[in-house]
């Protein structure tokens, strides 16, 4: 059910940069102009700035930089039936919040976006730096009901889609470092944490978590992260419209999920992989369960496992691991 804020924002966004009169908004909402004004006040409190003229109506002058549910929702180009979105000022982890909502029976797909996480988690039990610094903490929940082995390449497929979206949206040149790192200029701009609960032979539910460094500044990183992490804004030189980007990303995630679920992803996977894979032919070290394996990346298998050619020319296959690219001597 769209809220009055949704209806107002959809109208204003659809007519940008033109004005929309208070009486048109009133008609759409079935409310008086005074009631409309009260909803506009609520939007102002959330960070919107409107131009208002008695004879012409309203126009958006500035949008909030914090996550705003109605603003994200109004800009979604893909909206599956039953889809819902929650934005939170703060939560422990959006993946954990999504898992709680799944357990409570919430209809999928749904998304959780937070301005800040107090217990943001990365792969391999690591912490994910999650201050309220303009970065994105997003989880999207699904109930795929398929055998777990069908989800092998899911995280890679989603990562490739995110690379393409970021390249188009922000005019940057991202890369995907197997299995889940989004890179810009060799530094980490984002990471994916996919978590599934599995029943005997099928996935009960799945949470796709994305941490993306959007608008943090170089000064926001604690010491050790300054060398390895980067935000989109650091690369583009200007802050990005957070809610417009969140809507574009979310739309792409929902579409990419559908392509994965119906198998059509296989038609474009290899193409995207060639475009965005940063490991092709590289000498790497792969840490897996405390063991270090060195070799040259030889590609991927059908399940998304990494193939590594060792010194003796044998291919080894890895389903998980932490990759470091070895420096080539200069
Ligand atoms: C990684 O690179 O190790 C994955 C990082 C994933 C971080 C995101 S932020 C949103 C979601 N909630 C979490 O606690 N983790 C993921």
117 within ligand 1 shell (Cβ under 6 A): yes
Q: Are 102 and 110 in contact (CB under 8 A)?
A: no
Distance 125 CA to ligand 1 centre (A): 10
Determine whether the shortest distance from the Cβ of 189 to ligand 1 is under 6 A. Answer: no
Nearest alpha carbon to residue 316 among 324, 307, 325, 326 = 307
Residue 282 has pLDDT above 80, yes or no: yes
Atom of ligand 1 lying closest to residue 95 CA: 12
Residue 211 near ligand 1, beta carbon < 6 Å: yes
pTM, 2 dp? 0.95
- Residue 95 beta carbon below 6 angstroms from any ligand 1 atom: yes
CB burial of residue 287 (10 Å; 0-12, 13-18, 19+): middle
When the pLDDT of each residue in the chain is averaged and rounded to a whole number, the result is 95
Residue nearest to ligand 1 atom 16, measured at CA: 209
Residue nearest to atom 2 of ligand 1 (CA): 191
DSSP state of 221: S
Q: Please report, for residues 36, 72, 199, 257, 328, the alpha-carbon distance to residue 6 in angstroms, rounded to integers and kept in the order given.
A: 12, 10, 38, 25, 53
d(CA 325, CA 150): 29
What does the pLDDT read at residue 329? 60
Q: CB of 155 closer than 6 A to ligand 1?
A: no
Q: What is the largest distance, in Å, between two alpha-carbon atoms of the chain? A: 79
Q: How far apart are CA 246 and CA 75, in angstroms?
A: 9
Q: Cα separations (Å) of 216 from 51, 108, 250? A: 29, 31, 20
Ligand 1 proximity of 123 Cβ (cutoff 6 Å): yes
pLDDT, tens digit, 9 for 90 and up, residues 130-156: 999 999 999 999 999 889 988 889 999
CB 214 within 8 A of CB 245: yes
Determine the pLDDT at residue 1.
72
Q: DSSP state, 302?
A: T
Which tens digits make up the pLDDT trace of 214-254? Answer: 999 999 998 889 889 999 999 999 999 999 999 999 999 99
List phi, psi (to 5°) of 235. Answer: -80, -45
Q: Could you read off the pLDDT of 302-312 as tens digits, one per residue?
A: 889 999 999 89
Question: What's the chain's Rg over C-alpha atoms?
Answer: 22
Helices assigned H by DSSP within 62-200: 69-74, 94-103, 154-170
Angle at alpha carbon of residue 182, lines to 181 and 183, rounded to 5°: 110
């Amino acid at each position: 059910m769209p809220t009055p804020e949704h209806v107002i924002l959809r109208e204003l966004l659809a007519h940008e940069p033109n004005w929309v009169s208070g009486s048109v908004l009133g008609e759409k909402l079935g409310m008086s102009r005074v009631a409309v004004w009260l909803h506009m006040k609520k939007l102002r409190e959330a960070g919107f700035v409107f131009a208002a003229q008695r004879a012409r109506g309203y126009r958006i002058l500035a949008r909030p930089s914090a996550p705003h549910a109605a603003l994200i929702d109004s800009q979604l180009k893909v909206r599956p039936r039953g889809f819902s979105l929650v934005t939170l000022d703060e939560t422990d982890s959006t993946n954990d919040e999504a898992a709680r909502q799944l357990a409570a029976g919430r209809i999928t797909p749904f998304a959780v976006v937070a301005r800040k996480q107090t217990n943001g988690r990365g792969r391999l039990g690591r912490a994910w730096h999650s201050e309220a610094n303009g970065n994105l903490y997003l989880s999207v929940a699904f109930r795929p009901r398929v055998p777990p082995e069908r989800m092998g390449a899911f995280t890679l497929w989603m990562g490739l889609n995110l690379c393409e979206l970021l390249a188009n949206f922000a005019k940057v040149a991202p890369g995907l470092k197997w299995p889940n790192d989004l890179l810009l200029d060799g530094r980490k701009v984002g990471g994916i944490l996919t978590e599934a609960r599995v029943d005997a032979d099928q996935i009960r539910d799945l949470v796709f978590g994305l941490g993306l460094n959007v608008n943090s500044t170089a000064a926001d990183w604690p010491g050790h992260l300054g060398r390895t992490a980067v935000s989109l804004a650091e690369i583009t030189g200007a802050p990005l419209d957070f809610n417009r980007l969140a809507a574009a990303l979310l739309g792409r995630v929902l579409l990419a999920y559908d392509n994965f679920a119906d198998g059509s992803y296989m038609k474009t996977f290899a193409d995207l992989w060639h475009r965005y894979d940063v490991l092709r032919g590289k000498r790497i070290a792969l840490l897996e369960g405390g063991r270090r394996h060195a070799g040259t990346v030889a590609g991927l298998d059908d399940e998304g496992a990494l193939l590594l050619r060792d010194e003796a020319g044998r291919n080894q296959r890895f389903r998980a691991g932490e990759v470091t690219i070895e420096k080539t001597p200069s």
